[in-house]
Amino acid sequence: MSEQAKRPLSYGMIGGGPGAFIGDVHRRAIALDLDSRLVAGVFSRDREASLQTARELFLDESRVYPDYATMARKEAARDDGIDFVVIVTPNVSHFEIAKAFLEAGIHVVCDKPLTTELDDAQALGRLVAERDLLFAVTYTYTGYPAVKKARELVRSGALGRIRFVNAEYPQEWLATRAEADNRQASWRTDPTQSGKSNCVGDIGTHVENMVSYVTGLEIASLSARLDSFVEGRALDDNATIMVNYSGGATGLYWTSQVAVGADNALRIRVFGEKGSIDFRQEDPNYLRYTPIDSPAQILSRGRDDLGERGQSLVRIPSGHPEGYFEAFANIYRTFTGALRKRLAGEPLSDADRDFPNVDDGIQGVRFVTRAVESSASKGAWVEY
Ligand SMILES: NC(=O)c1ccc[n+]([C@@H]2O[C@H](COP(=O)([O-])OP(=O)(O)OC[C@H]3O[C@@H](n4cnc5c(N)ncnc54)[C@H](O)[C@@H]3O)[C@@H](O)[C@H]2O)c1
């Protein structure tokens, strides 16, 4: 490797200010691998709040900028400018921020949903290709080693031809008008911040990405019903979506933020002619695999062989639970590994590229767009 690739990588962050949720998770997940350092940021549009976060993180305040556009310009001009930027602001701002950094020649990690408009997502895709930059979209849940094994089982043909996928993601946290005093709830239920959808955009995109990642199935058409159960809410808080995949398999997705009793219960079940898999995000160290006419097998991370890719991301022995932070860190480990190789001028293998990318982000926005279209026409089947 070149000298450049041996140094710690440096990154900047947009969002993740005082009281923010996911920016802090990103910072801690990146820190798990000890190879990248936060050196710059705009943590809030409020300058004082941004500086407060910078102080808490012991950052050099000269690299805390008034806004993202200034940061992109100034970091690009520095010899020791950031290697990548992490975007963890509300959905509506992802496009302009990602565009500014791509145009400045800086690699990007952006949270989902990639954008609020499909045209914008596609424009980012073109920009990534033109500038030949790396772009990750943090669909966290595909980072689990058990999910890598699920993908390997499905794609190796162990399940036979896939017939049906059932995926669900219920949560409870918006079962009441939480938006009155919860800022995460407030912007997610506001179309000017969240986009055309709340529930499908926020968690339906995780379902779409998880199914696509594990099975490789491509959606051909869908029929959606989006509900808004809590009075006065402008956007959906529950959705039921039927899916036809190219090749004949079908699927049913349910996402909800009003499912009383549910925490963060993402679950995917894939049924083929010869077997099935069942993965539950709240128990992510295990994968249930059932070959037809045989007892179910519970594959345990750290104990059982999760395949080459899955094993490469196992950090600690079985019975020592890994979870959300590790799943996030696995996406970052793969992304920064690819970035190091890129900086060293080395080619990237399929394993190096095994992080959710801008195309996955575009698919997520397409999914939201088509689901909203279908629901607006009373659940009519819409071509994908
Ligand atoms: N991958 C996941 O599992 C996951 C989980 C939660 C949230 N998210 C996504 O992360 C994003 C942020 O969600 P959150 O829950 O952390 O929101 P949040 O409201 O907790 O945090 C947003 C932060 O962005 C800052 N901000 C807003 N506009 C800004 C701007 N122009 N410049 C600088 N800072 C700005 C706010 O001050 C705040 O600090 C959303 O797109 C959400 O969908 C992803």
Name the residue type at position 21.
F
Q: Give the model confidence (pLDDT) of 124-148 as tens digits.
A: 999 999 999 999 999 999 999 999 9
Domain co-membership, 94 together with 165: no
Q: State mean pLDDT over 342-351.
A: 96
Distances (CA, A) of 136 to 18, 112, 181, 332: 24, 10, 32, 9
Same domain, 196 and 214: yes
Nearest CA to ligand 1 atom 7: 22
How would you classify the pairing of strands 286-291 and 297-300? Answer: antiparallel
Helices (H), ranges, 144-258: 145-155, 183-188, 191-194, 199, 205-215
Q: Are 65 and 74 a contacting pair, CB within 8 Å?
A: yes
Mark whether 178 and 274 lie in a shared domain. yes
Give Cα separations from 337 to 1, 36, 56, 361 (angstroms): 12, 11, 28, 20
**Alpha carbon distance 201, 360 (integer Å):** 14
Neighbours of 73 (CB within 10 A): 13
Q: Is 289 helix (H, G, I), strand (E, B) or coil?
A: strand
Specify the CATH number for the domain of residue 88: 3.40.50.720
Do the Cβ atoms of 164 and 154 come closer than 8 Å?
no
Is the same domain home to 94 and 204? no
Q: Is residue 63 domain-shared with residue 157, that is, in the same domain? A: no
Instruction: Give residue 4's pLDDT band: very low, low, confident or very high (50, 70, 90).
Output: low
pLDDT in tens, 11-52: 999 999 999 999 999 999 999 998 999 999 999 999 999 999
The DSSP secondary structure of 234-246, one letter per residue, reads SS-SEEEEEEEET
Same-domain status, 343 and 218: no
d(CA 374, CA 383): 9
In degrees, rounded to 5, the angle at the alpha carbon of residue 374 between the alpha carbons of residues 373 and 380 is 140
Token representation of residue 96 = 């302009």
- At residue 349, the 3 state secondary structure works out as coil
Give burial (CB, 10 Å; 0-12/13-18/19+) of 374. Answer: buried
Which of 88, 264, 282 gets mutated to test ligand 1 (max ligand atoms within 8 A of its CB)? 88
Rounded to 5°, the CA angle 375-249-237 comes to 30
Q: What span, in angstroms and rounded, lies between the C-alpha atoms of 334 and 340?
A: 10
Residue 248 lies in a domain: yes
Identify whether residues 83 and 176 lie together within a single domain: no
Per-residue tokens: 232: 């006065």
Q: Which residues line ligand 1 (CB under 6 A)?
A: 14-17, 20-23, 42-45, 68, 88-91, 93, 111-112, 138, 140, 183-184, 187, 202
State whether the Cα torsion 93-199-267-362 is positive or negative. negative
How high is the pLDDT of residue 2? 52
- The whole domain housing 175 covers 145-315+363-383
Q: Are residues 228 and 136 in the same domain?
A: no
Residue type, 288: R
Taking the CB of residue 147, how many other CB atoms lie within 10 A of it? 26
Are residue 244 and residue 199 in the same domain, yes or no? yes
pTM of the model: 0.98
pLDDT, one tens digit per residue, over 242-268 is 999 999 999 999 999 999 999 999 999
- Residue 85 Cα, ligand 1 centroid: separation in angstroms? 14
pLDDT surpasses 70 at 5? no
pLDDT of residue 277: 98
C-alpha span between 124 and 147 (Å, rounded):
27
In whole angstroms, what is the distance from residue 372 CA to residue 378 CA? Answer: 10
Same domain, 376 and 280: yes
- Examine residue 320 and state whether it is found in any structural domain, yes or no: no
What pLDDT does 295 receive? 98
Please state, rounded to an integer, the average pLDDT across all residues of the chain: 97
Q: What pLDDT, in 10s, does the model give residues 61-111?
A: 999 999 999 999 999 999 999 999 999 999 999 999 999 999 999 999 999
Q: Backbone phi, then psi, for 162, in 5-degree steps?
A: -75, 130
Could you give the CA distance from residue 23 to residue 15 in angstroms, rounded to a whole number?
6
Q: Tell me how many domains the chain contains.
A: 2
Q: How far is the CA of 158 from the centre of ligand 1 (A)?
A: 39
Q: Are 288 and 297 in contact (CB under 8 A)?
A: yes
Nearest CA to ligand 1 atom 3: 140
First vs last C-alpha separation in the chain:
43
Same domain for 44 and 8, yes or no, is yes
